Structure 1
Amino acid sequence: MRLLYIFLFSLCASLAAAQTISGTATVLDVEGLAETRVGAQGAWTRVQVKQVLQPGQHLRTGPRARLALLLSDRTQIRLNENTQLEIQAIQPAPRTAGQTRFRQLRGQAWVQSKTPPRELQWETPTAIAGIRGTDWEMSVAEDGVSLLSVFSGAVAFANDFGKLEVLANEQARAEAGKAPVKLVVQNLKDRIQWVSAYRLEPLRHILLENADLPALRQMLADTSGQDVASLTRRGRILADMGLWSEAEAAFGAALKLDPDSRPARIGMVYVDLWRGDQKAAENWLAKSKGETPSPEWLLADAASKIAAGDTETARVDLQSLDDKVDAWLLRADMLAYAGRGDEAATLLRQGLQRFPDNHRLLAALARQHLRADDLDAAKAAAEQAVTANLASYEGWLAQAEIARREGDATAVIGAYDLAIALKPADDRAWFGLGSAQAERERIPEARRALDRALAINPTGLGYQGERATLATQAAAYSEADAAYAQALEANPADYVALTGLGLLQLKRGQTQAALDSLLKAGVMEPRYARAHVHTAVAYYQLGDTAQALSELKRASELDDKDPLPHYLAAMIESDRLRPADAIDAARAALQRMPYLKSLNQLANDQQGSANLGQSFAFFGMEDWAASYAQESYSPYWAGSHLFLADRYVGLFTKNSELFQGLISDPTVFGAGNRFKPLIAAPASHGGASLRYTQSDDFDGWSPQVELSGYRAEARPMAYYLGYEKLDWQRFDRPYDLDTLTAAFGIKPRHDLGMFMFADASRQDSQPAGDFGGFSFDVDDRLDTRRVDFGLNYQRQPDDQIWLKAGYFRSRESFDGEFGFDIVNARSTIEVPELSARHSFDTASGHRISWGIDAGRRMTQASLDDNFLLRTDYRVTESSFDLYVSDTLRLAPNLDIQGDLVWQRQRRSAQEQPFITALDPPEPASPTRETLNARQLSPRLGLIYRPSDTRRVRVAYQNWLRPTTFSALQPVATAGIPLDDRLVTRGGELDRLRLQGEWEASPRTFLMGYADYKRIDNNLMAIRPPSVSDLESLGKLRPRDFGALMRDDLYEVADTPDYAGGDIASLGFGINHLLDRHWALNARYAWTDSENSADATLDVPYLPKHALALGATWIAESGWYVAGRLAWRDRRYADEANTSRLDSGWTGDLDIFKESRDKHWLFRFSANNLFGELAEQYTAEVNYRF
């Protein structure tokens, strides 16, 4: 009993302690005077940055003061000037069961809480607001009247007289003694312009000489005297040019000649303000005031007061200087800082009435329109500014900022370059240029520009943070650490540094710390789209999918040209098994592809699932998927290559794209095998599966184990290890296959990546049966080894060099009875390969690729009947391709591509018989054969887009198939891949294809084509026994949901042995989204083929009519079901058309069930249902960790 009492007492004590646990509020930033006290009677003390506040404390801000807070429950708060707030309760974590409560007595507060506790209440003297995940502003007047503005989500607004729900973009008012009422409002978001990291910089708006920059340079050249007036004027000119150190020297020299010179003293005021030495500036002001202050002194005094935070006095003083453009600019700037954007714009327009066509006023007006998201008005004002004065530095800065918002990279760089040419000593254009280059990951150019900006202005807002973010992107983490520490020590509220630090923490796998940093950035600058993108990644990695999607939506609203938020949303929705939502996101991303900055920070996986086509492929709509993949194709992004490698059905094109993808991103196979991380982070992954397959032909077990991982430091690297075993009975005979795969990738520098892949397998089997009227019973062993190395060097993101070297070897032995003979066969194949490629974009819009693909295939084989004859074979095949490819966008709706390949192939074979009945064996006369080819092979393509939803592709392709397994050269022409399935090594393809694609509606996609191929396989008469080509690289590819629908209508597994032929085909495909869970697809192909050796024979495996109907059903609960019915006309499995496959239906079915945590995946498949081939059933269980 005593133990029971002790237990109950301990439990009660624990519960009591839990109830006393309280959250806190951390002070992120303080501008001006902000104070706190404990209780209603405590003494007020000054608030400090990083101070931790507890429930029970009161806060107040003074005139021109602001305060930023982050709560432990992730609520973000900003207090404007003259605001008083009481902290009543804070929950220790988001979405907890308790209550967070505040009481606002007066002033303005902006609050954002997307993950609130069960109750978040905000009380005012006249109402109580109940929050349900939103961002909003509360304004309380001196008489207690409360004005609630909701920007997203919903707020319940109530008092004793009534209650209403205020939704997004609505406003409500509550007065004493009255029920709350809704108000009709427009441009509600203008109310919170004060919630930003906007900084007042008065020196930007003051010109001492009031001349444009070319005139200043001429004036400087003409001012060479050493008297006081000349030196002072020289200092003023240098100051206007941004050369402050030289200006200081000139003013100092003038003061040495005349210490009482008022103009020189005023010049020193500006120098000390530039240095940030407020006390020294005020000292010079006192010395230079005189009995009647000059306009120059009044401007300097106003600038000093603004720098000291006394904006109200400065505003009053500046009203007396309405004959100075500088005064109008300063007054408008203070209004913008106070969040009164409309008033600032009105004042600037009034200034333009006084000073018509003044380029500085126009540029300021353009910026104000841009902050208000009025892009058209901003463009008009900026255009007027540079028209009024082509040498307007401010005008070109405004042009650059507008072009950046529009996503026009060329215009951004051009405008910043012009601004720098006009005023190279001003830091703003350098910073803008560096930031724009950093967004596109042009690391060297960005580093130079940002270093220059920091050299000019080491304390520039966001400068050090942007430089650190650049180091983060380049994986220079130690350098980034130092830069972030420096930036945040100088300004703990630097939102650019906080956002970059969040990205660095995401890359290190410190997700919770990253979210904390990013939420701090969001408090300081809620309109910073980059912060919302990274915040979404952090939320998703922490399992808060709804909030992640909300952040991506906000990011897309802030930068509506950027496709990246939609890319991420598509990946998240696919992960959630919500393909219809993923398709909506992919469609939005494709519309914004012309404005893409970079995808290099986006985590890929072996399937290229970051590709826009994945949203459609996941739903079984392969034609739609291929169209989107080709429309968003970039040769510089691994996601394009890896995704298309899964789509292409031919071995050569598949391996080529796969290798290009792995070389482009050598760390890709370290990606997670459950959830998509969105941004690569350190992790180790493993998987184990067991598969059982049964059919009339074979049955058995197949276990598989895989390990992979990624490390971010000291340099990004990834590894993969896999082992698979097939333990089958094939026709009641043993069939074993052991495969070991290893791969390693590393990026020693941001611009250099290296990749190694190795594969080894052993196949043992004992086939037996009848062939050609003879019985056989043999033992067969096949050993293969393959190793490949790849290197990628990025001179620029759109200027890259790829190298690849590989070596393949196989050895096969074949021993046993064939008919009445004992037969022994041996075969060895060796294939060394070497490839190089250089791809780059030019300023004129050309995308050029050139390089070489070379390889040599050596086959040695022997066939011995152990009685009369042994035949030795030696075959050597080599190929060399030298190519150049050019793609050009002639018009917004027209692309052309031209490829020219110089191809040389040499093939020689020798067949040497030995009469083994003699002792020793005597050689008979050998047979020799040589086939050489040398030619220029052109490929031409065109893509015409009559509208955003319709595309026409035309391609002509001439190609000699190389001896290698893959190539680095482009394998598609205008989005149409080479069809290598019916072309043997050394064979020639001539092809013409017309293809149309039409998104008939958001739910329906149509594709049709006409295709003509002429194939000459240039077969050699001497053909030794050898193994088929092995798709060893495919072992890096995990099995995924959509594999069933990738098969086309033909059954070509390995290239058939035939002379060649003419093949004409017509076909169409239909993909239809039935609802959010069902998708349908259909394909039809008509084919007419004729063997070139005998016109009466068909080309193997090609039916005249083929039709496939498929359906996919997906449920968020983890079910994935795909089924397909295919009907094929009569066709033949051999060149002589003796092995006939009758017409008929076949059916295939895949059923997957995935656990919610994605650890477990179960699969059941049924294949070859209803057809001639043996039905096959497979059950598989996977565990992933």
Structure 2
Amino acid sequence: MRASSVLLAAALIGLPPSVQASPPVRVEVEDLAPDTGSGEVIRQLEAQAATAFADGDLAHAAALYRQLAATHDQPAARAAALVTVGWIEQLAGHPEQADAALEEALFVDPELRLRSDLYDETFVRRFLDAQPRAQAARTREAAELARAGVQLIAAGNLEGARAKLEAALALQPDQPRTLYNLAVVDLRSERSEAALAGFERVLSLGQGRPDLVPPELRALASTSAGLLYLKRGDAAAAEAMLEQATTLTPGDGKTWGYLGMARQRTGKLLEASAALERARALRPDDLEILDTLARVQLEAGRPIEAAAGLLEATRRLPDAAVLWLRLGIAQQKIGGLEEAETSFRRVLALDAENRAGFAEQAAAFLALTLNDLGRPAEGAEMARRVLAWNGHSVDAWIYLGLAQRATGDLAGARQSLERAAALDPSRAETAYNLGSVALAAGDSLAAREYFLRALELQPAFPAAREILDRLDRGGAAPAAGTGRGTAARPGFGATLTEASYEEIGLKGLAVGAVDASGAAARAGIQTGDLLLRADGRPLAKSQDLLDLVRSAKRGQVVAIDLLRAGRPLRVSVRLD
């Protein structure tokens, strides 16, 4: 309709105006028959406008063309009708009205083109002068709509915000802040794919026109897209987006934290730790960052670093139960069992009703810690506390079984461990522990089946293999330890020195020179290792190891828990 309307008006306007004896009755839209449809309404308006112009009634013709513009649904057709209004107003000697009509036409359709051969030079110049004014008006209107949209987002009216922002984008399709805010609306409306497309559109604009999208907005879009990729499970894409965000805004601790999470999911634990340490430096009181960093350090086998950081974190946030939980786990891994007990009990005090779920986890770790400290009755009590909260906790059933075995309740231990095996048949340590209970009860046939099951689930299980070898040779099988280990000796070809790092609850025996032909070397123990536990018992003093070895039998295989370069390891040592 745009071309036909403009050309028709131009042709009519080219005729000399006639003198009106009596002006025709003005036709209003509502005067037309309601059942004629919009097409018929437009045709009637066009006919009436042409008649008014031919009769020389320019004011009436201009009014009819305005009504015609209001009736059209398509912006191009509306704009064409308004150009005709502008031409008529110029002919009528109304330059201000002509300028206003052209500005409105270009506001409606900024792509509108004028055929200069159909109009005089004055009108063409007027049209060109209206273009920047119309663009400025569109920009102002788009900004007002965008501001209203942001206010509606803040008020929680997402649908209202969407309408405002979409209207703003209709005026300025590539306005990056409006695109970003519309993506936020999509995100909060759980339209993740649309949100991701919006954030990526902002980034695409920034690549093509860096001056159009400021760095902080690109960083926000990159961060948001990265989090959506994380939610989708695409950690590699998330990492790429978040790396871009940290380059744009290196002082944003939250973004460094998200980058650490993405790297953790891609298995880059050292890089994840580095990003999270940067985040912690920028946001030292951010609980999510502190917790994630501790989990990554523990997963990366760096419990000493985790414990050191968590000691500072718990001083800053003493009521954060999750940080005390992570600290207890780190202390347990480095052999600080008494300190771990204190940390776990702090969690139980902070989350007494287990509303956050931390008390259940702490009680399970505490049950294990109490068993290792030689207090199995207390360990059993703590395991039952876990089971009162969650009767399907496999760990709690295992720890209860170990505690019952240590107190001599072999029937109860077997029942608890069988319950654990029923809940999760894939765990080799459960089968191994059932085997140790059966051996203690004198049931070697049942023990054999359990140890075979343990090896089937975990072929690299040296303690289970050792006992089976003994049973196959017809000799007396050694007393099996728990699934956490079986012993070591100081005269096994290495010099040992007591070491204590009280600040992080770390005690052990530092390994000096290692005899290449001794038991320690055969087990893989190296100079610089820190021995923490032997057969699950803490090695705070040299006497602890001496006492254990004196009570062991020659040829017995025991487990040594140690730290090497901050990473926990377990090695098996056959006593000479």
TM-score range, shorter chain: 0.3 to 0.5
Higher relative contact order (CA 8 A, sep 6+): 2
After TM superposition, the score normalised by the length of structure 1 is 0.23
Q: Which has the higher Rg, Structure 1 or Structure 2?
A: 2
Higher helix share goes to which structure?
Answer: 2
Q: Which has the higher strand share?
A: 1
